[in-house]
Structures are given as structure tokens and as C-alpha cells.
Amino acid sequence: MPIQISAVIITHNEERNIARCLESLWGIADEIVVVDSFSTDKTPQICMEYRVRFYQRAFDGYSSQKNYGNSLASHSFILSLDADEALTECLKKELLKVKEQGDQDGYQMRRMANYCGKWIRHGAWYPDAKLRVFNKEKGTWSDNLVHEEVIMAAGSRVGRLKGHLLHYSYYSIDEHISQSNRYSTLAATELHQNGASFSFLKMLVKPCFRFIRDYVFRLGFLDGMSGFIIARITAQSVMLKYAKLRLLKKGAVPVTQNP
């Protein structure tokens, strides 16, 4: 029996990305559900032009927003995208095959990031396998504060699709640093909530290990200056995560989840 797919997207001030994302879903999604956390730019107007099912909801975490969007979907199979992502033609052909004769409960795809205008093909960012198509009766978003993922029920069958999910990650280094700072706060908060202990050794060693792993062993250096900058900012984010964990244990850092 042919499969119908509901595309689910969460947004907040994504006017420069959302049209590209929605365009890539043409001919693939049988409906598009957008859950917006009260954008103040033109995101709502652009979404209305594409006649999506548009909802607004106060942001209370990435996983919560995405699971809420899944609950609004009319179809069992979900295609979950971020507003700064888009499907390649090859991936679209693969998804059409899934709709015609899919026999898995979920499907992974490779994500390739565009960093300040350059496609990244090495390091920790590639190949970046993401499970983004799944039966919502068997999969749900984890409750991680950051780097959430789809958790499939035991025994679920998961396949892999050809093609790429394009991720237009950062348009400037300043954006990357700002987001890295925010993510490190969320990661520290999660560690604190889970009772993780702080040590200076972790704060000193883990950033160095992360840089060497991503830049050297995962060949990040082959992406030139971009590869170096990505590995460097990632390592700094790891250091900040543990520094903020220490402050959290002293009650000095507020918990924020604004998008």
C-alpha cells in the first residue's frame, strides 16, 4: 500500500531559509506541518504562501516542539526537517520509492552541511547520518535538551536512503560562535540535571581530544580553513560546557531554552 508522508518543521525567525526548505518538499510531502515559536520576522507570511498547516506554540525545547508537530500530522509517516535543511533531487527520488514500496519503519539519510558558503565533506560533520523519516507509532524524539534524536521502538526496521539532506548551517563565523555558546549552555544544563560531576581534567582534556579527533583522525583538515574553524569552535564548545557545568553547580548560571 502506498505510504503518505507528513513533513514536520519547527521554526523561529527562519525567513532566509524556510522557502528553500518548503520548495524542496514539492511532490514529496502529502502535507506540511509547521510549528512556529512566535517568529518576529517574515517566517509566518512565507509559510502561509506555501499553504502549510501553520501553528504557533511557545518554545519549550526542541524535542517537545517536534513531538508536538508529529501529534498534529495526519499521516503515520513523518519526514522531519529543520527549516535550514533541504532535500537533494537524489534524496527526493529515494523518498518517492519509499512512498511507493517502503517496507521499513524508519529511514536514515546523510546530511551534508554548508558552512559560510562551503560544503563540508569531512570531520565530525560528514557523513552525518540522520534518521528523519519514521513511523510516528514506532518513533519519537528523545528528550535531550540539545542534539535530540529519534528513538525507535525495539525491533523496528531502519533502512538507509541515497542522496543528501542539505544543511545550510551557518552564514558567518559569528553565528556559529553564538550558537555554540547557546548549545554549550544547554549541554551543561543537561549534564547538571543528570547529576554529572565536574572535573578540571575533563575540561582540559576533552576539548583537546575533540579537536584532534575531528581535525586529524576524521580528516577535517581536508576542508581547509573551514575544517579548522569548525573543529576549533567545537572544541571550545566542549570546554565551555564543562566550565558552565561548574557554574551551574554553584547556582550561577540560569537555565534558558529560548530558540
Share of the chain above pLDDT 70, in %: 97
Q: What is the pLDDT of residue 259?
A: 63
pLDDT band, very low/low/confident/very high, at 256 (cuts 50, 70, 90): low
Say if residues 81 and 5 touch (Cβ distance below 8 Å): no
CATH 3.90.1150.10 assigned to domain 5-170? The reply is no
C-alpha cell at 126: 560528514
Mean pLDDT value across residues 157-176:
98
On the question of pLDDT at 144 being above 90, the answer is no
pLDDT band, very low/low/confident/very high, at 110 (cuts 50, 70, 90): very high
Q: What is the pLDDT of residue 14?
A: 98
Mean pLDDT value across residues 197-208:
95
Half-sphere exposure of 41 (CA within 13 A, CB side): 10
On the question of pLDDT at 1 being above 80, the answer is no
**Measured CA angle at 37 (ends 148, 27), to 5 deg:** 75
pLDDT band, very low/low/confident/very high, at 252 (cuts 50, 70, 90): confident
**Does pTM surpass 0.75?**
yes
On the question of pLDDT at 119 being above 80, the answer is yes
Say if residues 159 and 107 touch (Cβ distance below 8 Å): yes
On the question of pLDDT at 3 being above 80, the answer is yes
252 Cβ partners below 8 Å, 6+ apart? Answer: none
Mean pLDDT value across residues 110-138:
97
Q: Which of 82, 115, 86, 69 is nearest to 14 (CA)?
A: 82
Q: What is the pLDDT of residue 254?
A: 54
On the question of pLDDT at 172 being above 60, the answer is yes
On the question of pLDDT at 257 being above 70, the answer is no
Domain ranges (residues) in the chain: 5-170, 173-249
The strand pair at 106-115 and 118-119 is best described as antiparallel
pLDDT band, very low/low/confident/very high, at 134 (cuts 50, 70, 90): very high
Mean pLDDT of the chain: 95
Per-residue pLDDT of 31-50, as tens digits, reads 999 999 999 999 999 999 99
